[in-house]
Structure 1
Amino acid sequence: MVHLLLLVFFCFSGFALLLPLSPQWAVHGGADEFGAGLVTATLMATTVLAQLLVRTALRRLGWTRTLALGALLLGLPAPVQALGDSLWVILLTTALRGFGFGILTVCGSSATAALAPPGRRGAATGLYGLVLSVPQMVLTPAAPALAAALPLPVVLACGALPVLALPFTRGLGRAVDACTGAPAAERAATGGDPTAGVLRRILLPLVTLLLVTSAGGAVLTFTPQFAGRPASAVTALFLFTATAAVARWGCGVLADRFAPRPLVCTLLVGGGAGLALVAVAVRSGHPPLAVLLAGLVLLGAGYGGLQSITFVQAFDRAGPGNRHTTSVAWNIGYDSGTGLGSLLLGLAAQVATFSAGFAVLSAAMVLVAAVVLTAGNGPRGKGTGPAGDPADADPADRGTRPSLSDH
């Protein structure tokens, strides 16, 4: 676990640092808002593609080499990106970084499940999620301030931090190989119901996740552009990511005790209200900081909380025999939403304004909340209680089901 947590810390530090800076670097080179949004969209698109290919990589390369490949792909393109601010260079290096990130997200969550002691998978997953949240809480908000204090290429080059994770790949790979036999893992991963049936059961949680991560991706990408002063951008991003981290942990606990529908509806309506406040705040060139921060806190609660709740809800609906399919679908929904939100808000800003884009997202959240409120409990998987409620799930499944998201 120590090797895993150190690897994750260095890799996600490099990812979190460049998440708001690569789009800013594209704007520095002359790209418009759509071009800036395209950077994050490219990152998430290649992340999703890599997630679909990880099983093949593990089969052919093994755990140690696959982990090393992910760290190198995530880290080495950062100094290359710092050499030039043309959009095609930024998109190419960002695409390579997305492949590395996709490998590490799947491998990290799988390794956590494999290394957790019997009966403590929830604790191990919580620790893993905490280590993931720290770089995003600290480095993503600090990135605009670092870029203002130092030459932007210097800060971009620090995105090579994942390379420092290489010493931990061998020990982690050997530990996972010792805990799981590859043939047994392959047999377990191919069991379960047909994929189409599983996706039908978890469709509503995935749509909810896609919407809230679209809003989060838009905020993480464009806050340096619409927040005004660098200090305002730092404060806004810190409050957003810190609120999301706390809500992610707290709602993961609540999802095991209460029915998901009231929690989902409350968080969607709160997130929609937060987006409406953000839309009002960014209408002017100098957004009122208090209104902007209030909106981002409300949105952050929905962004973090719905990640955990939709993950638990999807697992309950899919049933214990379909964990692999559910996990892959959830991760793809998360990353697709992040990229889609950045792309669409950049397009909205180019055609109209940032304010208009946030207003549309706000209306979409309220609409989905109404759908969730009026929808039935949905098809249930094996091991799920009579109301689709996590509290009624099979106790045997509760001992093995992750309580937080894979990210």
Structure 2
Amino acid sequence: MTTTYRPAAPAPAPARPRLVTRPLLLRLVSMLGSSIGFYLPLSVVPLFARESGSDRAAGLATVALLLATVACELVTPRLVALVGYRWALGLGLVLLGAPTVVLTVTDAPAAILAVCLVRGAGFAICTVAGGALTATLIPPQRRSEGLALVGTVAGGSSLLALPAGVWAADRWGYTPVFLATTILTLLALVVIPGLPRRVAAAGASAHRGLLAGLRRPALIRPATIFAAVTAAVGVLVTFLPLATSDQPAWVAAAALLAQPAAATAASWLTGRVADRVGPARFLTPALILAAAGMATLALIGTPAAVIGGALVFGAGFGMLSNTTLSLMYGREPAGNESTVSAIWNTAYDLGMAAGALAAGLIVTSAGYPLTFLLTAAAILPALLLSTQER
């Protein structure tokens, strides 16, 4: 009898874990509420403050918002450990949305800054607690892709909300923008009961984890690279509408639309590839794109250059937002999601605040074009750090 050799059939490839689940969908709804609550009035409040007669409050509005955000981000991991994701997210949405209604009845500089401070605390809770929860809902094998999906939702909302706020304020005034911010943010509370109630480690260990994370170069390098570009975001969203105020309103609105549109698309495309080739490969080209785009904004008298610069800058920013966060989550064990979320979001908001503050100090004497060029130059040292991530 002749025995015929038949090679064994190859083992089937393991099925990829499901990415989109009901908890993740509910989380995306809550993220949509917080993103709209943050971005819709972001460029409107400085305009509102300047029209009220306080140029100083116009510059300090974004700084106050972001400094409060940074301060609260560092303690949010402990809050999550104490009360859980649901209560933390609910509190964050209330603090982010409700205070904006105050601006419908007063334009006092002190009131504007107080509203920004409270909103900053709310946004900090939403981003850190929400980011940590989101990380637990994404399979590690599809981390970059999952973060790209999340970034698309956040970017899509900012894509609409940031320019829509400026356009609506110009067309209908400030009160409708502030009322819409409050209503749309608080509506997201309806999904909170459907989110997981898992909590992080005990408060003390969570706090020690954050401090330990701040001493880890493997986390701080990507966070610092990201902060170099978010500083430029702070300059763009605060001063671009002011720099183009002598042009038609659509110029600033189109640029503020182009930046998050490009960021969303770049984040999505990067995430689709980064799980296979590694996210670190994208750091250097992303920084180059961001610097080039910011330098182009110096041509403020040319609408095409302003919009094109915002588009190129947004592409670099989107690539970095996905890759730096993916790198950081990949370097921490499960259970430390709040630590990574707090450090990354602190880099985001501290960078934005530093950029807005520094630009506010020099823009009067330097002018807008030179301020944008200096902002582009400030991105370039981060290239040295990006070479260490390869």
Question: What's the TM-score once normalised by structure 1's chain length?
Answer: 0.80
Note if 1:164 corresponds to 2:179: no
The aligned residue for residue 75 of structure 1 is 97
The 1:75–1:196 alpha-carbon spacing in structure 2 relative to 1, beyond 3 Å, is closer
Instruction: Pick which of 44-53 and 68-77 moved more.
Output: 44-53
The 1:54–1:250 alpha-carbon spacing in structure 2 relative to 1, beyond 3 Å, is same
Instruction: Pick which of 305-314 and 321-330 moved more.
Output: 321-330
The 1:274–1:58 alpha-carbon spacing in structure 2 relative to 1, beyond 3 Å, is closer
The aligned residue for residue 31 of structure 2 is 8
Q: What code does the residue aligned with 1:356 have?
A: L
Q: What code does the residue aligned with 1:233 have?
A: A
The aligned residue for residue 268 of structure 1 is 287
Note if 1:364 corresponds to 2:378: yes
CA RMSD of aligned residues (A): 2.7
Corresponding residue to 1:325 among 302, 327, 339: 339
Note if 1:226 corresponds to 2:243: yes
Corresponding residue to 1:278 among 272, 297, 302: 297
Contact 1:217/1:338, CA 8 A, preserved across alignment? yes
- 1:14 CA displacement: 2.0
- Give the distance between the partners of 2:214 and 2:83, measured in 1 at CA: 32
The aligned residue for residue 263 of structure 2 is 244
The aligned residue for residue 310 of structure 1 is 324
The aligned residue for residue 306 of structure 2 is 292
- Give the distance between the partners of 2:146 and 2:285, measured in 1 at CA: 28
The aligned residue for residue 140 of structure 1 is 162
**Superimposed CA distance per residue, residues 274-333 of structure 1 (whole angstroms, 9 cap, x where no aligned partner):** 222111x12xxxx111111221111111111111222233445x4547654333211110
- Give the distance between the partners of 1:267 and 1:129, measured in 2 at CA: 16
**Superimposed CA distance per residue, residues 155-178 of structure 1 (whole angstroms, 9 cap, x where no aligned partner):** 222210211122222232xxx12x
Q: What code does the residue aligned with 2:267 have?
A: R
Corresponding residue to 1:130 among 128, 141, 152: 152
Q: What code does the residue aligned with 1:326 have?
A: V
SS of aligned partner of 2:380: helix
Corresponding residue to 1:209 among 226, 240, 265: 226
Note if 1:346 corresponds to 2:360: yes
- 1:125 CA displacement: 3.8
The 1:253–1:81 alpha-carbon spacing in structure 2 relative to 1, beyond 3 Å, is same
Contact 2:233/2:352, CA 8 A, preserved across alignment? yes
SS of aligned partner of 2:42: helix
Question: What's the TM-score once normalised by structure 2's chain length?
Answer: 0.84
Note if 1:27 corresponds to 2:53: no
Q: What code does the residue aligned with 2:269 have?
A: G
Q: What code does the residue aligned with 1:211 have?
A: A
Structure (1 or 2) with the larger CA radius of gyration = 2
- 1:252 CA displacement: 2.8
The 1:151–1:39 alpha-carbon spacing in structure 2 relative to 1, beyond 3 Å, is same
Percent identity, aligned pairs only? Answer: 31
Instruction: Pick which of 16-25 and 34-43 moved more.
Output: 34-43
Q: Which runs of 5+ in 1 are unaligned?
A: 378-388, 390-407
- Give the distance between the partners of 1:88 and 1:201, measured in 2 at CA: 41
Contact 2:99/2:118, CA 8 A, preserved across alignment? yes
- Give the distance between the partners of 2:143 and 2:31, measured in 1 at CA: 17
The aligned residue for residue 18 of structure 2 is none
Contact 1:271/1:300, CA 8 A, preserved across alignment? yes
Q: What code does the residue aligned with 1:168 have?
A: V
